[in-house]
Amino acid sequence: MSEPDRAPSGFADLSRSELAILVPELLLSGHLIDRSGMAHSIAAFGREGMAEVAIEEWQVASPVYTRRMQRALGFTGDGVETIFKGLQLDIGAPPQFMDFRYRVHDHRHGEFWLDHCGALADVEPMGESYVRSMCHDIEDPTFDATALATNPHAQVRPIHRPPRVPADRHPVCAWTVVIDDSHVPPPVPANFETVARSQAAQVVLDPIDPLDPGLGDYAGPLLSDLRFGDFSRSALIRMADEVCLQHHLLTLGFLIAVGARAEDAAAADIGRRQFAGIAGLTAERLRLALGLGDDDAALAQVLRRHPAWNPLCYTGVRVDHAEIGVRVRIPKRSGAMTDKVWPALIDATHLAPLDAMARGVNPRFTVHVIDDTDDELAVGFLLAEKPFAESGEVAITRFSTGANFQFADRGIPLPLTVI
């Protein structure tokens, strides 16, 4: 077994309360990947091409990571309750920002609606054509792709959805989920097997310790909201690593879709821009969520928790902090390098995503190469005299209302399972 395979979780030294803060942050970060990626897709391929990229990336990624989370948290099944539990732990539906509400009628019938949709808040100012692209063109095939991970005969269909009439219609949308053996499953997307056989899909993470205080699974009733602090520390570590894999799997789908539409150099440039935009905003939110400062110690903490570098058994990335400063070591052989996801987009001449991460902690940080060998790229960070201007990629991602979104304590969640 290689060294990266034996790496402990990058979240293993966090407390249960810190992890309960971190997991919803990671879910929101995963959702905001598209605020960065789709902006550059529009520039390269137009609105219709952007919609095609979004459909393809979610179709190939969401069934893979949905099944992973079901197995990890012990809620495998073939009914609507299992579908809804999966959505609660899906970067496509981060809690509160995408405020899904659920109703289960029976094993094969249910409804959900959104009391708040952060994605719609981002897109409505862009006009009706973009709303239709998201709420019609993209949602129809991708909702079904997520549901069929649980049951191939599940169909998600709208009761109503945007464009909103009247303009302040609430809830913003509502959908039925029906499982019927007569439903014909949609065709398997062209690149699904590539993602399903990826290194990210095959990563084996540490099992949840059943003796750890708190909930060790989600095998109980469907809850109106997940209160992450109710889960055990071990379960939260597993969730965090699984959510980071969702980031990588979605990015893999994105890069495959972009690569089918652009020459290699142009596709890599779009990938790096997507990476830089979400890298910087995520670093900033992680720093604030964990109550960190803006010095080297804070930078090291943020880099260790960043989804780009986790799970460690997949990326092999090391973050060291010593008197000489913070060092990041990116191995040139790892599962992430094989899949050609985020770490593979970094080299000695393409460091913008690392600059963006560091400047999410302190705008004066700048990255520099320490060593570049056949085995690894090692970089360090220095403080410049004056702060750098925010990069265009981060500024684009900050367009989302998710940039400043605040999670709220909703108290004790209600069970929704039909008795």
The string of pLDDT tens digits covering residues 292-332 is: 999 999 999 999 999 999 999 999 999 999 988 999 999 99
| Tally of structural domains, the chain | 2
Host domain of residue 217: 11-248
Q: Is residue 417 in a domain?
A: no
Same domain, 115 and 180: yes
Which residues sit opposite 215 in a β-bridge?
Answer: 231
- Is there a domain that residue 206 lies in? yes
pLDDT surpasses 90 at 111: yes
* Alpha carbons 418 and 107: distance in angstroms, whole number: 9
Q: In what order do the strands lie in the sheet with 109-117?
A: 98-106, 109-117, 173-179, 154-160
> In one letter, which amino acid is 299?
L
Residue 239 lies in a domain: yes
Confidence of residue 3 (pLDDT cuts 50, 70, 90): very low
Residue 254 lies in a domain: no
Q: What mean pLDDT is reported for the chain?
A: 96
Place 189 in a pLDDT band, splitting at 50, 70 and 90: very high
* pLDDT for the residue 333: 98
Strands (E), 180-260: none
Tell whether the model's pLDDT for residue 126 goes beyond 80. Answer: yes
Q: Give the rounded percent of residues in the chain with a pLDDT score beyond 70.
A: 98
pLDDT of residue 2: 41
DSSP 302: H
* Domain closes at, from 248, 278, 306: 248
Q: Which of 184, 219, 248 is the last residue of a domain?
A: 248
Looking at the fold, whether 283 and 356 belong to one and the same domain comes out as yes
pLDDT the model gives residue 172: 96
Examine the pLDDT at 419 and tell me if it is beyond 70.
no
Q: Tokens 């009628």 belong to which residue?
A: 105
Do 56 and 177 have their domain in common?
yes
Instruction: Indicate whether 324 belongs to any domain.
Output: yes
Mean per-residue pLDDT, 375-396? 97
pLDDT at 1: 35
Residue 31 located in a structural domain: yes
Neighbours of 163 (CB within 10 A): 15
End-to-end alpha carbon distance in the chain: 47
Please tell me whether residues 59 and 195 are part of one structural domain.
Answer: yes
Whether pLDDT at 6 is above 70: no
Say what the pLDDT of residue 8 is.
86
Pair (82, 230) in one structural domain: yes
Least confident among 4-13, 224-233, 309-318, 324-333: 4-13
Q: Are residues 207 and 334 in the same domain?
A: no
State the pTM of this model: 0.97
15 φ, ψ (degrees, to nearest 5)? -75, 165
- Give the rounded percent of residues in the chain with a pLDDT score beyond 90: 96
Cβ atoms 33, 274 nearer than 8 A: yes
Residues 333-347 have a mean pLDDT of 98
Of residues 245, 222, 181, 223, the one with CA closest to residue 11 = 245
Domain boundary, last residue among 248, 283, 314: 248
Q: What is the mean pLDDT of residues 370-389?
A: 98
Tell whether 197 and 299 lie within a shared domain.
Answer: no
Polymer length in residues for the chain: 419
CA distance 25 to 265: 32
Asked whether residue 5 carries a pLDDT value surpassing 60, the answer given is no
**Domain identity same for 363 and 275:** yes
The stretch 156-162 carries a mean pLDDT of: 97
What is the CB neighbour count within 10 angstroms for residue 343? 24
